[in-house]
Amino acid sequence: MGNIFLYDLLNFFIPQNCICCNSRIINPGNPLCRKCADELITVSPEIVTEHKMEYFKGSDQDIAIFSLYLFHMNNPVQILLHSIKYNSKFLIAYRLGKMLAERFEKDLSNYNLNIILPVPLYHVKKAERGFNQSYYFAKGIADYMRLKTSQSYMKRTRNTGTQTHLNKNERVQNVKAAFAMVKGRSVKDKNIMIVDDVITTGSTIKECISTLKADGANQIVIGSIALA
């Protein structure tokens, strides 16, 4: 009974038609048809290095980034991210989390991770949307790795708005001191993977990392569905 319910639930959240081109999907459970999935650009180690050289300077450059797809306008990845965020297809984020953990299983095992934490949404925004898409992504990773995830360790202290039209420096200013640990929660000496749906300049995730480090976190790595 439970399984039937779960199957219905999956069908509801993960469509039978490709979310990108609307053609019928032969292997239900995949959000994209084969043709659209083939258009996704897998993030290579070279892409990560290039991204870090541009946006992660100095000591930040040592941080490990695990990401699935290169973000590109008009690529199915854009529609994938949009559906997860705005069309309530958050179970797709869960599946992508499992995919990420499976793809990087060997590398991730080197970090002795204790917990997977999503970048928090401002509580008003979360209430409006009904969910934090990054939490489902984190949950997929955590379930695959048999680890814990939680939305109650860190909080966003104010609404930072959309950063789409801000440049790199404006983004840094925009998220400055925007995160805090939840009272009574501690990440002292913990190895953490902090995850977001998409990493662009990294200003948001770096601010989260500062908050976690200030609380005594040990090693931190980054995970994302896409790298822009």
Q: Which residues bind Zn ion (CB under 5 A)?
A: 18, 20-21, 33, 36
- Phi/psi of residue 144, nearest 5 degrees: -65, -40
Question: What does the angle CA 133 – CA 139 – CA 145 come to, to the nearest 5 degrees?
Answer: 150
Nearest distance from C-beta of residue 214 to Zn ion, angstroms:
44
Neighbours of 227 (CB within 10 A): 24
Nearest distance from C-beta of residue 92 to Zn ion, angstroms:
14
Distance CA 185, CA 19 (A): 38
Nearest distance from C-beta of residue 78 to Zn ion, angstroms:
13
Nearest distance from C-beta of residue 69 to Zn ion, angstroms:
15
Distance CA 96, CA 135 (A): 12
Nearest distance from C-beta of residue 91 to Zn ion, angstroms:
18
Strand partners, 115: 148, 192
By beta-carbon proximity to Zn ion, the closer residue of 92 and 117 is 92
Q: CA–CA distance from 225 to each of 1, 57, 216 (Å)?
A: 32, 22, 27
Strand partners, 179: 156
DSSP letter for 228, please: -
Nearest distance from C-beta of residue 64 to Zn ion, angstroms:
32
**In contact, 159 and 122? CB cutoff 8 Å:** yes
By beta-carbon proximity to Zn ion, the closer residue of 18 and 209 is 18
By beta-carbon proximity to Zn ion, the closer residue of 15 and 120 is 15
3-state SS assignment for residue 28 = coil
Nearest distance from C-beta of residue 19 to Zn ion, angstroms:
8
Measured in whole angstroms, the distance separating CA 56 from the mean position of its chain's CA atoms is 18
SS3 track for 53-70: HHHCCHHHHHCCEEEEEE
Distance CA 82, CA 76 (A): 10
